[in-house]
C-alpha cells in the first residue's frame, strides 16, 4: 500500500504539469523506522531533519514523534532548543529546581533548552511531538489548524510542515493536492512559495509546524547548510 502511494506521489511531483510547483517532500508514517533515544530510554519516530544526513549534534532542525511509556530524563543536546507538544495522554515535566508542569493534548506547546535537566513522568501512555532547533539560527512554531485555511508565510519562514494527527487532511501547494493520513507530513520549502491551502475535515486534527529564521537580517542564508 505504502509503495503504491509513493509511486503516485513521484508521478505527480515529477509530471510535466508540476515543473513549476514548489518543492514539496512527503513524509509517510508507514516508511518511518523507530530510532533509539540518545539516552537509551526509549524510541522516537523521526519525521524529518535538516540537513537530512546530518548527525543529531549538527542538525539545524528536527521534527519527530515519540511514545513515552516510562519516566526518565530527556537526552542532553547542547545548542538545541526543544518545542514539545503532547498529542495523547498526560505528561508531567519536572525541571531542575523542582518546578513542574503537566501537559495534555489541550495544552500549549512548551519550550525548553535541549541542555536543560528535564525529566518526563507519563501518567498514562503518552505520544508527543518534539521539534528541535539550533539556537541562534532558527526557531519553531506549532499551530493547530481547522476547517479550510489559506496560509501565507512571511520571509522569515524557511520551512512549513503540515502534520496530520487524526483522520485525513489535504494540502494544496502550487495547484497540486497532497492527501495525508495519520502521522503523514507534508514539508514545504517556504522560500519557494508563500501560499499553502489546508483542508481539514471536522473529524480530523492537524498542526502546522514552521521553522523560522532567528536572524531576520540573514533570512536567505539560514538554510544554506547542505
pLDDT digits (tens, 9 = 90+) for 42-54: 789 999 999 999 9
What pLDDT sits at residue 223? 52
Residue whose C-alpha cell is 500500500: 1
Cβ–Cβ < 8 Å for 109, 84: yes
110-149 burial, b at 16+ Cβ within 10 Å, e below that, comes to: eebebeeebebbbeeebbbbbbbbbeebbbbebeebeeee
What pLDDT sits at residue 145? 92
Please tell me the distance from the alpha carbon of residue 161 to that of residue 152, in angstroms, as a whole number. Answer: 13
What pLDDT sits at residue 130? 97
What pLDDT sits at residue 77? 92
pTM (two decimals): 0.84
What are the structural domains of the chain? 2-29+138-221 (2.60.120.10), 32-134 (2.60.120.10)
Low-confidence ranges of the chain (pLDDT < 70): 1-22, 41, 216-226
What pLDDT sits at residue 93? 97
What pLDDT sits at residue 216? 54
What pLDDT sits at residue 132? 98
Cβ–Cβ < 8 Å for 68, 84: no
What pLDDT sits at residue 57? 87
Cβ–Cβ < 8 Å for 151, 197: yes
Please tell me the distance from the alpha carbon of residue 153 to that of residue 193, in angstroms, as a whole number. Answer: 8
Q: Which residues, at least 6 apart from 37, have a Cβ–Cβ distance to it below 8 Å?
A: 43, 44, 66, 75
Which three cell numbers mark 136? 541562534
Indicate the helix (H) or strand (E) that contains 4. Answer: helix 2-14
Amino acid at each position: 500500500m505504502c509503495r503504491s502511494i509513493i509511486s503516485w506521489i513521484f508521478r505527480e511531483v515529477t509530471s510535466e504539469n508540476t515543473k513549476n510547483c514548489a518543492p514539496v517532500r512527503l513524509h509517510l508514517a508507514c516508511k518511518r523506522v523507530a530510532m533509539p533515544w540518545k539516552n537509551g530510554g526509549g524510541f522516537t519516530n523521526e519525521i524529518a531533519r535538516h540537513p537530512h544526513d546530518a548527525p543529531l549534534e549538527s542538525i539545524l532542525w528536527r521534527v519527530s514523534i515519540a511514545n513515552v511509556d516510562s519516566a526518565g530524563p530527556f537526552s542532553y543536546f547542547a545548542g538545541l532548543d526543544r518545542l514539545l507538544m503532547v498529542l495523547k495522554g498526560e505528561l508531567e515535566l519536572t525541571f531542575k529546581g523542582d518546578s513542574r508542569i503537566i501537559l495534555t493534548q489541550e495544552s500549549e506547546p512548551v519550550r525548553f533548552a535541549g541542555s536543560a535537566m528535564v525529566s518526563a513522568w507519563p501518567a498514562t501512555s503518552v505520544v508527543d511531538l518534539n521539534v528541535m532547533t539550533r539556537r541562534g539560527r532558527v526557531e519553531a512554531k506549532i499551530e493547530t489548524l481547522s476547517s479550510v485555511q489559506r496560509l501565507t508565510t512571511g520571509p522569515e519562514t524557511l520551512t512549513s510542515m503540515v502534520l496530520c494527527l487524526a483522520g485525513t487532511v489535504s494540502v494544496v501547494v502550487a495547484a497540486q493536492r497532497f492527501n495525508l493520513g495519520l502521522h503523514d507530513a507534508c514539508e514545504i520549502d517556504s522560500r519557494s512559495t508563500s501560499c499553502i491551502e489546508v483542508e481539514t475535515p471536522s473529524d480530523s486534527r492537524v498542526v502546522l509546524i514552521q521553522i523560522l529564521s532567528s536572524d531576520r537580517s540573514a533570512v536567505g542564508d539560514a538554510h544554506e547548510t547542505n
